[in-house]
């Protein structure tokens, strides 16, 4: 579901980016702190890169929902948001 507004995809992308960067930073710093004297940089780099690739794919539907919740908290529901937009039939002259 979306509100057919400009910027909706950009907002959900931004939420997804913030979540991914937060998880990446937590994993990188946590991995460094857990193995501090002898940090396995290659393994940590591969693990964090894999996490940075898979996290956006796993969180995308949830980031759309979270952005919709953020949008609804700042801009309340209008009557037009509850109506389904009518689409023209293929080949019609309307």
C-alpha span between 14 and 21 (Å, rounded): 10
Contacts of 36 (CB under 8 A, 6+ apart): none
C-alpha span between 53 and 26 (Å, rounded): 15
Residue 34: pLDDT band by 50, 70, 90 thresholds? very high
3-state secondary structure of 87: coil
> Region 40-66: what's the mean pLDDT?
94
Residue 77: pLDDT band by 50, 70, 90 thresholds? confident
Domains of the chain by residue range: 8-74
């Amino acid at each position: 579901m979306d509100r057919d507004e400009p910027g909706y995809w950009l907002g959900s992308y931004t939420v997804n980016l913030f979540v991914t960067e937060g998880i990446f930073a937590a994993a990188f710093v946590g991995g460094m702190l857990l193995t501090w004297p002898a940090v396995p940089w290659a393994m940590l780099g591969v693990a964090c890169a894999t996490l940075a690739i898979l996290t956006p794919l796993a969180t995308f539907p949830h980031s759309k929902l979270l952005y919709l919740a953020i949008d609804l908290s700042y801009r309340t529901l209008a009557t037009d948001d509850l109506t389904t937009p009518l689409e023209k039939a293929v080949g019609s002259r309307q």
